[in-house]
Structure 1
């Protein structure tokens, strides 16, 4: 019963924040349109709400992964502008590892085949990564995909107990499993 009430309150707060994007926005300094516009996606898995908020950079004819834009084997802020954030209304497991309910910044370490997904406590301008604030690191296998101009996150294979969050940009798809 208490969990249901808390989930309802959390859902209402997400709805209110969704109607007022500046309630979640970090200080951006001006009101100009962004080259990499902000976006968000949310998914309910069972009764757990998962929300990802991020900036959407474009390929714009550049080499994305493995070059100077997003080098392999180095921490990437995983998006543009402010920290990409992921919020869980309840405790979850990600790639089989436990993670407490809350909001985390989402960083990655891209590799040619394997990626590390990092959940970090420090929510800031996206380039201010602090490894000492890492809460969880998990690995996943990247997949080839059709070209996609702008970075995007979405969910697939959603059931009452799990779902797959997917990071997709350029010709790469990076899935990670969330279980509730």
Structure 2
């Protein structure tokens, strides 16, 4: 990838993070300076020379049944709270065997008991303004049982210079997928 494309992607990342922080301030102003019920979070990981950043809202379980109830099975979920979950990738990658160009995307999912569909979409939006026509990539993964986690979070496991596993973890469910550079 040429230097101009890398520079453009890094500038896009800075602008996206600025937008997230600006929108957070705007949302707090709308709510009279009260903290968000589902606070924003950002996690980043460098794999080789590729930077991956995920920005999302962190809803809590709050004594609710999450998957199959609050988050219905078989329906597109924004995968977090508030704005779309954003994933920024600085270089071209392969996600679970599917090629994806560097860029800024939204990450949606379709949860089911035995399999989840991960959706990489080109439209960033507030809430559930999902547009299937903007899907760039869809693939299926198997969820795993996990220790209970009150607040939803993304994190990276098994990080090497060639790949890492991204994990969505909430309630008693982990949903992993692999990014290779």
**What TM-score does the superposition give when structure 1 sets the normalisation length?**
0.89
Aligned length: 178
SS of residue paired to 2:148: strand
CA distance in 2, matches of 1:25, 1:156: 28
Give the whole-Å Cα distance in 2 for the aligned partners of 1:103 and 1:18.
11
The CA distance in 1 between the partners of 2:179 and 2:68, in whole Å, is 27
- Pick from 58, 62, 65: which aligns with 2:64? 62
1:169 maps onto 2:174 in alignment: no
Query: What is the correspondence of 1:1-180 to structure 2 with a 5 Å cutoff?
Result: 2-3=2-3, 7=6, 14=13, 22-23=21-22, 28=27, 30=30, 31-67=33-69, 69-180=70-181
CA distance in 1, matches of 2:146, 2:37: 24
RMSD: 2.4
Task: Note the residue ranges of structure 2 that are not aligned, 5 or more in a row.
Answer: none
Which ranges of structure 1 fall in alignment gaps of 5 or more residues? none
How much has 1:32 moved relative to structure 2? 3.1
> For residues 74 and 94 of structure 1, what CA distance do their matches in structure 2 show?
22
Indicate conservation of the 8 Å contact 1:42/1:51, yes or no: yes
CA distance in 2, matches of 1:88, 1:149: 28
Q: CA distance change for structure 1 residues 79 and 96 in 2, over 3 Å: closer, same or farther?
A: same
The separation in 2 between residues aligned to 1:15 and 1:123, in whole angstroms, is: 15
Give the conservation status (yes or no) of the 8 Å contact 2:13–2:104: no
Contact 1:11 1:49 in 2 (8 A): no
